[in-house]
Amino acid sequence: MNDFNKAETVERSARVTDEDFALTWIEMINAGHTVQNVADKLHMKKSYAQARSTVIRKALRTASPPFELPFARRETKKKDYNSLSVKLNRALNEIS
């Protein structure tokens, strides 16, 4: 068994119940954290945490009583248009 397979085995062995996942998800998402933060806390990949939240969300909608798992906020990078404006003005002044 090479090192890659050992690491994969360790990651797979860290099991989290649906209840623990949902409780951690609700706590962290309501506190303003991202999917990556939830994944890091539960020692899983971001894509797996996102997929698992979708599966659990769909199952909880049809449960009795129905429950709505909160959605994570979108992770966006803020663009700095002020610095872009300064750079463009500087470039235009050099051309003129």
pTM of the complete model beyond 0.75? no
Residue 79 has pLDDT above 90, yes or no: no
13: buried, middle or exposed (CB in 10 Å: 19+, 13-18, 0-12)? exposed
Domain of 67 in residue numbering reads as: 3-95
Q: What is the mean pLDDT of residues 3-28?
A: 74
- Percent of the chain whose pLDDT exceeds 70: 82
pLDDT attached to residue 13? 44
Number of domains in the chain: 1
Alpha helices in the chain (DSSP H): 3-13, 18-30, 35-42, 46-61, 81-95
What does the pLDDT average to over 55-82? 86
